[in-house]
Amino acid sequence: MSRRADGTPQVCPGVYLLTREASPQFCQPILVRVIRRLDRTTYDGWAWVDVYQLDRHGDATRRRGLFLMPAGMRPVTVAPVPYAGRRRSPANSGGVRVGG
Task: Give the C-alpha separation, 69 to 84, whole Å.
Answer: 37
Task: Look at residue 97 in the predicted model and tell me its pLDDT.
Answer: 59
- pTM equals 0.73
Instruction: Provide the number of structural domains found in the chain.
Output: 1
Under the banding of pLDDT at 50, 70 and 90, the label for residue 6 is low
d(CA 26, CA 30): 7
Domain that holds residue 81: 2-98
Closest to 33 in 3D by CA, of 7, 5, 3, 53: 53
